[in-house]
Structure 1
Amino acid sequence: MKRTLTDEQIAGVVAHARGPGTRVLTSRELTGGTFNSVHLLTLAAPPATEEEAAVLKVAPPAGTPLMTYENALMRTEAEFYRRAAAVPGLPVPGILAAGSDRTAIDGDYLLMTHLEGETWERLRPRIGAEDHARLRADLGRLLRGLHRIRGSSFGYPYGNPPAGAATGWRAAFDGMLADVCADARRFGPPLPVDPDEVLGLVRTRGRLLDQVTVPSLVHFDLWEGNILLAERDGRLEITGVLDGERSFWGDPLADLVSTALFGDIAGDPAFLSGYRPAAPLTTDERRRIAMYRAYLALIVLVEGVPRGYDPQARAPLTALAADDLRVALNLLR
């Protein structure tokens, strides 16, 4: 699924984004992602004399098999960065240009500012317990600020139907989950339970979703691989929050799933001290989180088929997702 970009294609997209006088001095593909093509570029454009670092992200070409929710992911990501940039202290890339008219290349693209740092996942073995706890609390505070960004409707910004089609969060999330269950039947990955059982259990507890009356901006992919860290003034700090393509307008508690990926956020007191100090999760809130754990686990289990991942190489991840799906359903029961 992940395309390989030629130097000519990169130059063409940059010219479309920044004008024909902009030159690509260097280009290096950034590895780790498996869906979009991502390149770190050095750009120069007259009359400026300084070089500029930028990141170019290009979506797969039209006709690539996708899950239902993956409609217009790059436009969703651009909107996330524009909205999240209003949060004090939250480091997200700036949008230099975005294109979805398919004139420069047969796919959506984003040209963004480059943020310094390495992923938290990569640096984790070198982070001591004290620094780790401090960074988790910092992440909680940043996420609390993100969730103060409110929308006017629930759901994916460019979903089909788009946000606003549902009358409330219960209807929006029911549609989101139903789409993933339909994708599971369409692509046929091995699953530990029938998708209809997942949908039925969530609908049985649907009244809990009615407690969410205001749509918050939710990232929904805040695992350590999407968070950058760098040393500033002698200690590690969060310097980047990336990959907002799965974001939606919904229940802020949904972001407590990927922040504790395949685990229980209640077991992370450092994070919670930053996110909601002195306010332990209630039983109803834990059940809502369980619904979102089931939703994310299903996405992980299904997406490997349309993306053409090697099932054996992906087996450790799918085993974790399958276990977490079982845990989430037991919580709902």
Structure 2
Amino acid sequence: MEFHPIERAPAAFQHTVTAAEVRAMCHRAFGGEVRVSSAVELGWGTYNSTYRVDIGADHPVILRVAPEPGKQFRIERELMRNEYASTPYLAPLGPLLPRTLAVDFTHEIVGRDYVFQTMLDGIPAPEGLGAYPRTEWASFFGQMGEIARRIHDVRGTRFGPVHGPAYATWSETVIAYLDDTAADLDDVGLDAADVREVAALAAHQRGVLDEVTSPRLLHGDLWTVNVMIDPAASRPTITGVIDGDRAMWGDPAADWTIYRAGRRPGTERDAFWEAYGPPTSTPAAVTRALFYRARHVGAARLERHRLGNLRDLPETYDDLREVLTCLTR
């Protein structure tokens, strides 16, 4: 078997499995007679380890291997299991989603969760969008708005990650996430005082958060890096949506997609809102958006630390200082 892992430093968060482990995982999933001819680790994402595996079928399959349990932050615990639980609820996306071929959470072959999925057509949007003139990008963001709307129209019965834990109210969900973020920051030696201050304000303003009473499905990580596009299309055309491991039940306005779509008004991203529908701008919605911004910034602080991106860490403190100023004004 040809095996091409990505070489990383020993202390890197992501690390490869072995060729023997890939072969064993394939035999468990597809039978001992399957001949694994090659496995190539892909550079997609910064959390799971992802491989394109040729097992002699019509198309290669994708193998995704989660980090070891001991490496997972509280706010990222068992994300692969969460994605597996969320798949039935993402059914409105139809053929845009990869199909699950096999799942193994036993840790008998390798001490990590793993899943085999079909390989979607296309290339990651960040690799392909640059081939189109900027004037064509609006159609891409319009498609993103349509996809986000399909996801957010799915209703749930409780708040929190699809896999759990479940919460009766939206305020409990937001506060628990902020508390876990602060504890994760403590664990890696980063100052979490501002995140705790936001959590305290969220507890004080529970009523504003609990105006959200209807749990809706959130993808959790829908943006360009988790979208595939057709490299041969005359305009940017989305062919797939991946990595739903952060899916949860909550307020659609809290989704990563909404946060990103609103970051650059007056650009091609405005097409997102034309397809999705205009954002709510009531005083309560504006206040909730500040708590959601703090949620995203806290997670970004952890991500930057994990990736060794120390240069951009101070920006997260500036961002949360601004959030706190607005919340206490």
TM-score, with structure 1 as normaliser: 0.85
How many angstroms apart in 1 are the aligned matches of 2:34 and 2:208?
53
Whether contact under 8 Å (1:9, 1:105) holds in the other structure is: yes
Q: Secondary structure at the match of 1:296?
A: helix
2:45 aligned residue: 33
Once the two structures are superposed, what CA deviation does each residue of 1:212-258 show, in whole Å capped at 9, x if it has no partner? Answer: 11211111212311111114653321112111112211111112x44
**Percent same amino acid among aligned pairs?**
31
Once the two structures are superposed, what CA deviation does each residue of 1:56-101 show, in whole Å capped at 9, x if it has no partner? Answer: 0011224x232112221111122233321x2145612111111101
Structure 1 residues 16 and 89: CA distance shift in structure 2, 3 A: closer
Q: Secondary structure at the match of 1:102?
A: coil
1:18 aligned residue: 30
1:66 aligned residue: 72
Structure 1 residues 43 and 147: CA distance shift in structure 2, 3 A: same
How many angstroms apart in 2 are the aligned matches of 1:59 and 1:291?
29
1:178 aligned residue: 179
2:302 aligned residue: 302
Whether contact under 8 Å (1:3, 1:36) holds in the other structure is: no
Q: How many residues align?
A: 314
Q: Secondary structure at the match of 2:161?
A: coil
How many angstroms apart in 2 are the aligned matches of 1:209 and 1:103?
42
Are residues 1:329 and 2:327 paired?
Answer: no
Query: Which of the numbers 60, 63, 74 marks the counterpart of 1:56?
Result: 63
Deviation, 1:262, is: 9.4
Whether contact under 8 Å (1:82, 1:95) holds in the other structure is: no
Are residues 1:249 and 2:249 paired?
Answer: yes
How many angstroms apart in 2 are the aligned matches of 1:9 and 1:272?
45
Are residues 1:76 and 2:82 paired?
Answer: yes
How many angstroms apart in 1 are the aligned matches of 2:111 and 2:37?
23
2:127 aligned residue: 122
Whether contact under 8 Å (1:24, 1:41) holds in the other structure is: yes
Are residues 1:290 and 2:297 paired?
Answer: no
Deviation, 1:119, is: 1.9
How many angstroms apart in 2 are the aligned matches of 1:135 and 1:29?
28
Query: After superposition, where does 1:1-333 map in structure 2 within 5 Å?
Result: 1-44=13-56, 50-62=57-69, 64-84=70-90, 86-88=91-93, 91-159=96-164, 162-163=165-166, 166-190=167-191, 194-231=194-231, 234-255=234-255, 257-261=256-260, 264=263, 268-277=269-278, 280-305=280-305, 307=306, 309-312=307-310, 315-316=311-312, 318-333=313-328
Question: For residue 124 of structure 1, what is the amino acid of its counterpart?
Answer: L
How many angstroms apart in 1 are the aligned matches of 2:253 and 2:83?
20
Once the two structures are superposed, what CA deviation does each residue of 1:26-83 show, in whole Å capped at 9, x if it has no partner? Answer: 2111014332211011223xxxxx4332110011224x23211222111112223332
Whether contact under 8 Å (1:42, 1:51) holds in the other structure is: no
Q: Secondary structure at the match of 1:167?
A: coil
TM-score, with structure 2 as normaliser: 0.86
Q: Secondary structure at the match of 2:116?
A: strand
What is the RMSD of the two structures over their aligned residues, measured on CA atoms? 2.4
Deviation, 1:115, is: 0.9
Structure 1 gaps, min length 5? 45-49
Structure 1 residues 273 and 326: CA distance shift in structure 2, 3 A: farther
Question: For residue 27 of structure 1, what is the amino acid of its counterpart?
Answer: A
Structure 1 residues 319 and 228: CA distance shift in structure 2, 3 A: farther
Whether contact under 8 Å (2:50, 2:65) holds in the other structure is: yes
